[in-house]
């Protein structure tokens, strides 16, 4: 489907589509009148399931099989690893309740309005996340910038899926390997205690670590003690798991939305059953209430810091997948009159509920670890991206009956979440390439993206790879997307024009929008994001690892410079 046409084109920067696209734009300006009198079709005729492209016979754009596939795909995309994996560790790193309150505020005034805006943009244009920006040609590079940031993120999302596969395969053992200590894990500096046992009354010191934590860092990652010595060679077991991940993603995406929409039925619904089971077990553990209180109790001195608000905004973008492009891409496969307002509300509520559910689950487990070890909650485990692979297995090890079964179910859940997130992100990149190279078959583009991404992902499964992952997560995903969302909002609301967006929405959905949407889009979001961003950059502190070490300035500098180049894309 083409954004522009020979018969209509754009008028004064507004969305203008030809009658060949069967999209009757609400921009009824003089140029539109003069160009649409010959072959006009009525709105009542409806929008066909597959829309033809102009003149030349380019590949037709697909539609979702039914509305449920679109909704579940959005839920699978937004309610994914960002909630189960990233939200708890970001909340843990930013003081629990000190993070939760800013996050909920950001979600209501920034996340939800932006999510709806991206749905509108994709559905009205029926274009991918690059072509859609022909509406404001000066910032067309936003789509390419989003694609680069998305590729950054998807390469390490698949590494998280590979870790889940490794744990899944390890769960088919008589004794779960992370529940008992190995002799080589205990040193003069670190004592190991079994995660499956009751630690009350044992002599636990500040240097003691659980078998689940040591299993993750020493047996799974084989984490390098010093990240100044280079990356090292990829861990072969994780490399094979990573290969399996990309084979699954290729199989999911090779046929387009006709295949990924069917997968969404499972990837969107199955995780809730497992997460609720873990929640019930977590809240019944001794000390769980202290962990939950830590999660919901605000620390007002931290709420006043820019770092917490910056973390809340970037987590909101990750959680909802705002700014990455998949929401625009998914919505572009909708019929023109599809009720995206309803869907955006459902997804936003599901996303918020899942994040809180995951947060309560994780912090109840952390409360139990603090209770049994005698440590403060903020010191019971090393923070960082590995938190979910320590705390969740800790909870599983405390199931009295058949913990292997719950381990298998949990890591299957993580894998399904990762497939939903990674497939959604990868489909955005693939759609852009398919739009730019329409003569190349989709499965070929999907195969090339999968192979290249696999080899990039091997960096993260080296002994020093997790340190690189933390840096890419902070700069590559969060920083780039933050800048691009600011540019995107200003381009749409101030250059394209808020009044045009409101007229487009009224034409497409047959109702007008209230002041909440007008003021959040046009005033609150751009100003708030700019203020938080400037404040966070002025007060920026060097990144630290989970155990407090400062990342090497060289590594941070290289990634920051690379990210800076990517943020120039809109220009």
DSSP, res 230: -
What is the token pair recorded at 543? 């990144």
Q: How far is CA 509 from CA 123, 466, 522, in A?
A: 11, 46, 20
Residue 79 among known ligand-binding residues: yes
Q: How far is CA 69 from CA 75, 77, 225, 469, in A?
A: 10, 12, 46, 32
C-alpha–C-alpha distance, residues 459 and 155, integer Å: 10
SS3 14: strand
SS3 384: coil
Largest CA distance in the chain: 86
DSSP, res 378: G
CB count, 10 Å around CB of 238?
Answer: 23
SS3 193: strand
C-alpha–C-alpha distance, residues 63 and 369, integer Å: 49
Q: Phi then psi for 492, rounded to 5 degrees?
A: -75, -50
C-alpha–C-alpha distance, residues 308 and 328, integer Å: 28
The answer to whether 197 and 230 are in contact (CB under 8 A) is no
C-alpha–C-alpha distance, residues 477 and 424, integer Å: 15
Q: Which residues pair with 116 in a beta bridge?
A: none
What is the token pair recorded at 539? 């007060």
The answer to whether 480 and 567 are in contact (CB under 8 A) is yes
Closest C-alpha among 317, 282, 270, 277 to residue 414? 270
C-alpha–C-alpha distance, residues 124 and 133, integer Å: 12
C-alpha–C-alpha distance, residues 53 and 50, integer Å: 10
Q: Which residues pair with 208 in a beta bridge?
A: 191
Residue 484 among known ligand-binding residues: no
SS3 111: helix
Residue with tokens 């009044």: 499
Estimate the crossing angle of helix 306-320 against helix 340-373, to 10 degrees: 120
Residue 563 among known ligand-binding residues: no
Residue with tokens 């984490």: 223
Residue with tokens 């009956």: 401
Closest C-alpha among 109, 131, 111, 112 to residue 121? 131
Residue 421 among known ligand-binding residues: yes
Residue 355 among known ligand-binding residues: no
Closest C-alpha among 156, 169, 130, 190 to residue 431? 130
SS3 361: helix
Geometric angle at alpha carbon 544, from 538 and 549, rounded to 5°: 135
Q: How far is CA 189 from CA 113, 233, 455, in A?
A: 50, 26, 36
Residues making up the binding site for Na(+): 79, 83, 319, 417, 421
Residues making up the binding site: 79, 83, 319, 417, 421
């Amino acid at each position: 489907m083409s954004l522009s046409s020979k018969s209509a084109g754009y008028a004064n920067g507004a969305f203008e589509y030809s009658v060949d696209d069967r999209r009757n734009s609400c921009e009824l300006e003089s140029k539109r009148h003069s160009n649409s009198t010959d072959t006009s079709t009525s709105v009542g005729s409806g929008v066909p399931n597959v829309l033809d492209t102009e003149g030349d016979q380019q590949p037709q754009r697909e539609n979702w099989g039914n509305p449920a596939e679109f909704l579940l795909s959005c839920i699978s995309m937004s309610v994914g690893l960002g909630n189960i994996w990233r939200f708890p560790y970001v909340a843990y790193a930013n003081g629990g309740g000190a993070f939760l309150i800013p996050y909920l505020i950001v979600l209501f005034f920034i996340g939800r309005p932006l999510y709806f805006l991206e749905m509108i943009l994709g559905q009205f244009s029926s274009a991918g996340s690059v072509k859609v920006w022909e509406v404001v040609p000066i910032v067309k590079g936003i789509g390419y910038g989003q694609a680069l940031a998305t590729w950054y993120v998807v390469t390490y999302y698949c590494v998280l899926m590979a870790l889940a596969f490794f744990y899944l395969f390890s769960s088919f053992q008589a004794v779960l390997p992370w529940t008992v200590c190995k002799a080589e894990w205990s040193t003069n500096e670190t004592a190991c205690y079994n995660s499956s046992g009751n630690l009350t009354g044992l002599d636990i010191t500040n240097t003691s670590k659980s078998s689940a934590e040591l299993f993750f860092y020493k047996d799974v990652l084989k984490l390098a003690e010093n990240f100044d010595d280079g990356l090292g060679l990829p861990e072969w077991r994780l490399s094979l798991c990573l290969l399996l991940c990309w084979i699954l993603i290729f199989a999911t995406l090779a046929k387009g939305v006709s295949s990924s929409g069917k997968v969404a039925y499972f990837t969107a619904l199955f995780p809730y059953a497992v997460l609720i089971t873990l929640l019930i077990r977590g809240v019944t553990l001794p000390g769980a209430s202290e962990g939950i209180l830590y999660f919901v109790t605000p620390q007002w001195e931290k709420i006043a810091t820019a770092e917490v608000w910056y973390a809340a905004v970037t987590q909101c973008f990750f959680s909802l997948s705002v700014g990455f492009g998949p929401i625009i891409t998914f919505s572009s496969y909708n019929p023109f009159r599809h009720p995206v307002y309803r869907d955006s509300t459902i997804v936003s509520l599901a996303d918020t509920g899942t994040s809180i559910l995951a947060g309560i689950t994780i912090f109840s487990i952390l409360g139990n670890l603090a209770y049994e070890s005698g440590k403060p909650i903020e010191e019971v485990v090393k923070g960082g991206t590995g938190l979910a692979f320590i705390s969740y297995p800790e909870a599983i090890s405390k199931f009295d009956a058949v913990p292997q079964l719950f381990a298998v179910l949990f890591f299957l859940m993580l894998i399904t979440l990762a497939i939903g997130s990674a497939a959604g992100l990868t489909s955005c990149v693939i759609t852009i390439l398919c739009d730019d190279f329409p003569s190349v078959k989709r499965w070929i583009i999907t195969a090339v993206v999968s192979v290249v991404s696999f080899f990039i992902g091997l960096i993260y499964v080296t002994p020093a790879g997790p340190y690189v992952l933390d840096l890419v997560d902070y700069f590559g995903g969060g920083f780039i997307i933050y800048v691009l969302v600011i540019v995107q909002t200003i381009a749409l609301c101030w250059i394209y024009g808020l009044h045009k967006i409101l007229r487009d929405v009224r034409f497409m959905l047959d109702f007008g929008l209230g002041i909440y949407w007008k003021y959040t889009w046009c005033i609150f979001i751009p100003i708030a994001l700019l203020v938080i961003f400037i404040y966070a950059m002025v007060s920026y502190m060097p990144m630290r690892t989970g155990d407090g070490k400062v990342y090497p300035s060289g590594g941070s500098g290289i990634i920051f410079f690379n990210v800076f180049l990517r943020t120039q894309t809109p220009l």
